[in-house]
Amino acid sequence: MKTLMRTVALSFPVLLLLVLPLQRAEAQREKEFTSSSLKAMGAPNNPKVEVAWNRYYDTGELSEIMHRIVKAYPSLASVRSIGKSFEGRDMLMMTIGNRKNGDPDARPAMYIDGNIHSNEVQGSEVALYTAWYVCEMYGSVEWIRNLLDEKTLYIIPTINPDAREHFIHRPNTPSSPRSGLDPRDDDGDGVVDEDGYDDLDGDGNIVQMRIADPNGRWIADPADPRLLVMAEPDRPGQYTMLGNEGIDNDGDGRVNEDTPGYYDPNRDWAWNWQPRYTQGGADRYPFTFPENRSVADFVLAHENIAAAQTFHNSGGMILRGPGAKEDEKTYDRIDVQTYDFLGKLGEEMLPGYRYFVLWKDLYVVYGGELDWFHGARGIITYSNELWTSFDYFRKQGSDDFRAGRNTVYRFDKLLLFDEGIVPWTKVKHPQYGEVEVGGVKKAWTRTAPSFMLEDLCHRNMAFTLFHLYHTPKVAVDSIITRGLGNGLTEVTAIVANRRVIPTHTSQDVKNKITRPDWVTLAGGTVVSGMVLENRLLGIGTEQKRNPERLNVETIPGMGTASVRWIVEGKGPFTVTVDSKKGGIHSSRSR
């Protein structure tokens, strides 16, 4: 026993040296639980980039996650800045697509952004989750692999980084600042941003103020004393409401009337732009703000973008344009069919979300982002309003787009154990004397709680991935040759689009936004060429100039276009279809 003890004692340091690193690694893996014995469907098991999708990230954290994804998946992901924000932050964009399969900028692409309204933060998490998920799953899910081999995602998690920082790190309501941070004179007194909110209790949340007042008309709600309700008409009240937490900083008799900003970055886009007296939130002219101008410049320089998605909160909506009735003409029947197909797919994938036409079902917007993408660029575009009253108790109640106070407070009591509400707290107000502050915290009601955020990210991502999947994919379907004698051959080619979105939307065709698809013949001398309107009857329009490269104005979704040449030569002939938004494909005749 003694001997044994000694042996062990002697060998212990040696053993320790051998075993310790292993133990340490083992201990670490156990601690993180990045993989499990039974992988749930959906999330990756043992991801290369570990990210918790149940919390919100500031711009520094978003940037770090983006760079970690790029480091782990260099052939699938890259990150770059497309410009600077007003305060000089980089506008970081990820390009996702299999680089080993060619230049991602030459493939059909989808643009995704979030957070144009700075308080509507979770769009950034959805956008970034998308980049992360497709990279992580590329190796194990064939559908994702095919998608990234053929298509490209451009993802800008936040296009309002300055004010995202403000929302997260400065006192705010769930609805502020919404604007970007270029200062403006909101109250017309010649001074900018001089009367914003004031965080009287220093907790980072701008909530409500009330003052005890026997002549007030409000009382504590007997059902939940954190809420106030109007006193019965014949009963005395307890409180007077004083609005959002704040001070009259500029002594003009008004409180919080000139906050940081204020303008609406989503009324700054160059389609049916209107000035502020017609459209609240509009500023000087379209793309006044560098964030939006950078996006516009990027999109103008990338004609391969055939689909776009922007994320907002809240209300549970899949919105398409137009923002104003008079623009109904820019969404004609063919384009609406495409929108309806994907919109209805979205309603199925996103319970509680409704597929809406902006001006008709929500409100009128002039100069909105989605209208510019569709109207000016002919790109199939949706805006999703993330998080809905349905999500609270997963039933369609009497609440409309946003949950009512009672639902919010009930949910807070039953599922958040009072965490989401600041209880009424006494503070000294320099102008009102002793008041109480209390109400909904900024990271709640417009944003999902932790345990529902991952669900929100995944479902919305899935909708956008089907949208990307249905961007056009062109192919030379078949080449039919017929000898004409005298060394001449008639070559007929059918080019197809294997997806639902056409190579040019109707808006694109009408306004010649994107150059036509080119169908080119090689392997003979072209004598004449025509684009066929009716292949079976041989009816078409001759293209007199440059017939080797025929201009096809669009290839419809799940449809074809046909062309015909008279060629000197016997072949074989190579036919190539080259579409800005649909990719390139070649085939050789036998």
Partner 1 sequence: MRVLFPLKLVALIAGCTALLSSQTPPSAYHSYDDMTATLKSLQSRYSSVLRLESIGKTSGGRDIWVAALRKGDPAQQRALLIVAGVEPVQVSGSELALRAIEHLAASYGKVDSVTKLLEAATIYVIPRVDPDASESFFAPLKAERSINATPYDGDRDGTVDEDDVEDLNGDRMITLMRVRDPLGDWMLHPEDARIMKKANAAVDEKGMFRLYAEGIDNDKDERWNEDPVGGVNVNRNFTFNYEFFGERSGVYQVSEPETGALADFVLSHPSISVVFTFSPNDNLMTPWKAEARATGENRVVTSMPKEDEEYYQHIAKRFQHVTGLKDAPKPEKGAGAFSEWAYYHAGRWSFSTYPWWATEVRSGKDTASADASRRGGSGSSATRPAREEAPDDASIRQLRTLRWYQAAGIEDVFVPWKACRHPDFAGQEVEVGGLKPFALDNPPAESLSTASGGFNAFFTDLASKLPSVAIEKIKVEALRSGVYRLSADVANHGYFPTSSTLGDRVRWSRNVAVTVGLDKGQSIAGGKARQVVGPIAGRGATIPLSWVIVAPAGSTVRLTAESPASGVATQRVELREQKGSRP
Asked if residues 288 and 138 have their Cβ atoms less than 8 Å apart, the reply is no
The residue from 6, 29, 169, 276 that contacts partner 1 (CB under 8 A) is 276
Q: Please, what is the Cα angle at 102 between 98 and 107, to 5 degrees? A: 80
In the complex, minimum distance from the CB of residue 176 to partner 1, in angstroms, rounded to a whole number: 20
Asked if residues 505 and 379 have their Cβ atoms less than 8 Å apart, the reply is yes
Pick 378 or 449: Cβ nearer partner 1: 378
Q: Say how far apart CA 333 and CA 26 lie, in whole Å.
A: 61
Pick 189 or 198: Cβ nearer partner 1: 189
Longest pairwise C-alpha distance within the chain: 107
Strands of the 109-114 sheet, one edge to the other: 77-84, 90-96, 152-156, 109-114, 305-313, 380-386, 317-320, 354-357
Q: Is 545 in the site for partner 1 (CB under 8 A)?
A: yes
Pick 296 or 495: Cβ nearer partner 1: 296
The residue from 49, 324, 526, 531 that contacts partner 1 (CB under 8 A) is 324
Pick 55 or 360: Cβ nearer partner 1: 360
In 92-237, alpha helices (H)? 122-137, 142-150, 161-169
Instruction: Give the range of 201-209, 215-223, 282-290, 528-536 binding partner 1 by CB under 8 A.
Output: 282-290
Q: Is 280 in the site for partner 1 (CB under 8 A)?
A: no
In the complex, minimum distance from the CB of residue 194 to partner 1, in angstroms, rounded to a whole number: 12
Exposure string (b/e) for 404-439, b if CB count within 10 Å is 16 or more?
Answer: ebebbbbbbeeebeeebbbebeeeebeebeebbbbb
Q: Is 284 in the site for partner 1 (CB under 8 A)?
A: yes
The pairing of beta strand 421-429 with beta strand 152-156: unpaired
Q: Say how far apart CA 556 and CA 362 lie, in whole Å.
A: 30
Site for partner 1 in 499-518 (CB under 8 A): 511-513, 515
Pick 238 or 528: Cβ nearer partner 1: 528
Q: Is 287 in the site for partner 1 (CB under 8 A)?
A: yes
Mark residues 233-262: x for contact with partner 1 by CB under 8 A, - for none.
Answer: ------------------xxx---------
Q: Say how far apart CA 308 and CA 111 lie, in whole Å.
A: 5
Q: Say how far apart CA 125 and CA 545 lie, in whole Å.
A: 51
In the complex, minimum distance from the CB of residue 287 to partner 1, in angstroms, rounded to a whole number: 7
Residue type, 52: A
Mark residues 365-394: x for contact with partner 1 by CB under 8 A, - for none.
Answer: -x-----x--xx------------------
Q: Residue 463 belongs to what H/E stretch?
A: helix 450-469
In the complex, minimum distance from the CB of residue 56 to partner 1, in angstroms, rounded to a whole number: 33
In the complex, minimum distance from the CB of residue 551 to partner 1, in angstroms, rounded to a whole number: 9
* Site residues, partner 1 (CB under 8 A): 184-185, 188-190, 251-253, 270-279, 284-287, 296, 300, 324-326, 359, 364, 366, 372, 375-376, 511-513, 515, 544-546
